[in-house]
Each structure stands twice: as C-alpha cells, then as structure tokens.
Structure 1
Amino acid sequence: MANWDADGIRVRIRELAARDPDRQRFGARTHGYALAPPLPASEVRAFEETHGIALPAEYRSFVAEAGDGPAGPGHGLMPLTAPRPDADGEWAADDEWREDRLPGRLAEPFPLTQPLPGRIAARAELTRGTLMLAELGCGMFFRLVLNGPRAGEIWQIDPDWGGFVPVSPGFRSWYTDWLTSP
C-alpha cells in the first residue's frame, strides 16, 4: 500500500510539536515539526525522468501526498526537487543533496548487497544509487536505496564507526517509526 493519510500525519506532527515546545527531541530545532506541502505528481515524474530512476513507491507517494519534508527523522527530511530555502552550503546535508543530483548518480547501481560495518574510506563510491533522506550529524546520513536487490530499503551511513548498514525495510516503516516514537 503506497497511499498516505496526509491529514493524520499532520495531526501527529502537531501532537509531537505540542509535547515538545522547547524542541528538545533530536532534530526538532532543525525541522521545527513543519511539513512542507506535497509536490505535484508532475514534478515528481519530472525528477524521475531527469535522473533516469523510479523512486520507491512508499517514498514517491509520501512526497506527492503528505509533504516534501522537513519534519522527520534525524534533522528532518531533505526536499526532493529544490534545495532547502536556507541552504547556504554550510551543512553537510546540503553538499550531499547537491551531490545526489549530479547527472547519472542516482541511476547508478547501488554497489552493496550486504551491510558494510566499520570505518568507511570511499563514502561517495558507496552511496551511488541512493538518495540522501536525512542527516544525523557528524557525517551520518539516512539514505534510500533506489535500485538493485536492496531497492526501497533505508540504510544509515556512519563513515567513522557504524559503516553502511540497513536500518529499515522501507520508507513507510522508517517514517512511521519516527512518527510514533516518544
């Protein structure tokens, strides 16, 4: 099932914000419990055509039905088609966002079939065929696998300690876990 209850998501985000008025929950000061409007389906299709990919259905439907970030895990969801309005190049996430949009990068095969624990030297080579969804800080990111046998999974990359490992079978469970966590 790919459809989302956008009204229910917005209600839940308002509840989270009401319980956290001082923005103490991790990432809340960055995303501010704000959910941008959804993207028009034509804009999502144009993104896919430009990059030669098909977004996993759960993510595709989220940005087209619920919203294009930022409220979400980590420091919040990165927007799909346009950089953050306040992007000034000082956040690592902004650089990752721009790198993902280089011609052909998202359509390349995801190079891993198994988790890669431990320190990582060649991060840029490993993230081909994935879309950065959110930053955790300290060079750690959540990434959505776009192609190959792991397509649709969410992986976390932590080049210093944790490696590059799957953390969720799909966008729906990953995002819903964030929505329902205390």
Structure 2
Amino acid sequence: MNLEQADPEDLAVLRAAFAVDDGGQSALGWEGVRAFEAEHGIVLPEPYRTFVAEITDGSYSGPPDYGLVGLAELPDDWGDDRPERDLRQPFPLTSQWLWEEDDSEPSEETDLLMDRVFDHGSIVLGTDGCGMYWHLVVTGPHRGHVWLITGEGATPFGAEFGFTTAEPGFAGWVEHWAANKPWFDAT
C-alpha cells in the first residue's frame, strides 16, 4: 500500500468501480484538495487523494450503502452533538476494539478514547446506515487504512487483520465492494 504516490492500477480500479463519466467535473480538483489539507494540517493518503482530486468527490453509487460522502462532508445521520473533529490528532487504534464486549468499568478515559476513535485522525467515507460509519485514517500509525466504526466498536478493514480477504486501504476497500463481496468474508 503506497500512501505517497497513486498506483495507476489502483486508480483504474477506482475509475471502473465508480464509473464517473463527467470528465472529472465531480472531482474536487487539486486546488481544492490542497486547500482542505492546509486547513486541517494533513496530507491525504493515496490513492484517495488523487481519487477526490481527479475522479469524484463523493458518489451515490457507493460504497458504502448510502454512498461515498464528499471530502469535507459527513453523513446525514452523523448527528450535531459530536465533539469537534480534529484530523491532525492521530487515530488512536491499531487493532479492533469492541467496546460493547469490553468488561472494564466505564470511565471518563474510555469515553474520551471512544470520542477520539470517531473524531480524530480520520475522514468519514460514508455510512451503511444504523450508525455504521466507514473511516479512512489520515494521521497516526494506521494512516491509509479503512475502519468500520459503529456504536459497538471499531474494526480495521484488510486481510492482514483477519476479518476479510480484501487488500487494505481505500482501493482494496472499493475493489472488494465492486466485486460484490461481503465486507467481512473471512470470519
């Protein structure tokens, strides 16, 4: 997974999966991408960076079920009572955490960590509904990885984590969806 330079094969997969045929008019453009990055103090991982700059900035054709939201957007069901998102702060997890199955006592520290999981170091790609959000990590050790974050927990996507047969990262996530495979086909 090359996070610094877009692989032409990955871009071909993304173009085919989204079949955007508007000559890039739905894309944000490089100026828009750089402005977003400067505003948030980050550099988006490839191939997502090139995808939003040249192919499209959001799509109703999915993934996920309710479509891919634009770079600076959040899904309609995100809610207004969430803490402010801070993309500069690193995404706090490197392995699955199912807080619904966590036997430790609830604490303020646990609540703060859950807020950071939802709101630090990732952009929201979209939702499969019912509070199931797909995130692309943009800062921290898991930069470039896609995570499913729900009210019950957070799970990384990619074969190396044991829940799916898919390649990691944005292109692997899209390719898996385009092949019409279940998200977690290895469990």
Q: TM-score, normalised by structure 2?
A: 0.68
Contact 2:137 2:145 in 1 (8 A): yes
Distance in 1, Cα, partners of 2:155 & 2:18: 30
Cα 1:7–1:167 change in 2 (3 A) is: closer
Distance 2:79 2:53 in 1: 22
Instruction: State the partner residue of 2:177.
Output: 178
Deviation sequence 1:80-102 (CA, Å, 0-9, x none): 13x48xx8xxx323659xx69x4
Task: Kindly indicate whether residue 145 of structure 2 is the aligned counterpart of residue 137 of structure 1.
Answer: no
Correspondence for 2:96: 115
The CA distance in 2 between the partners of 1:170 and 1:124, in whole Å, is 23
Report the alpha carbon displacement of residue 66 of structure 1 after superposing the two structures with TM: 1.5
AA at the equivalent of 2:155: V
Matched, 1:69 2:58: yes
Q: Does 1:79 align with 2:70?
A: yes
Q: Deviations over 1:18-47 (max 9, x none)?
A: xxxxxxxxxxxxxxxxx9711110000000
Q: Deviations over 1:114-170 (max 9, x none)?
A: 21124287332222111111111111100111112211000001223xx10101320
Counterpart of 1:8 in structure 2: which amino acid? Answer: A
- Cα gap change, 1:36/1:175 in structure 2, threshold over 3 Å: closer, same or farther? farther
Is 1:92 paired with 2:77?
A: yes
Distance 1:94 1:154 in 2: 21
What is the identity percentage for the equivalent residue pairs of Structure 1 and Structure 2?
Answer: 34
Give the distance between the partners of 1:77 and 1:147, measured in 2 at CA. Answer: 20
Separation in structure 1 between the aligned mates of residue 18 and residue 145 of structure 2, nearest angstrom: 24
Quick check: 1:9–1:66 contact (8 Å CA) kept in 2?
no
In the alignment, which residue of structure 2 is the partner of 1:166? 156
For the residues of structure 1 that align with 2:25 and 2:96, how far apart are their CA atoms?
Answer: 33
Aligned to 1:132, what secondary structure does the other structure show? strand
CA–CA separation in structure 2 for the residues paired with 1:178 and 1:36: 24
**Structure 2 matches for 1:12-27, cutoff 5 A?**
none
Q: CA deviation at 1:9?
A: 3.9
Would you say how many aligned residue pairs link Structure 1 and Structure 2? 149
The one of 31, 34, 57 equivalent to 2:46 is: 57
Partner of 1:24: none
Answering whether residue 16 of structure 2 is matched by residue 8 of structure 1, we say: yes
Aligned residues: CA RMSD:
3.0
Distance 1:36 1:164 in 2: 34
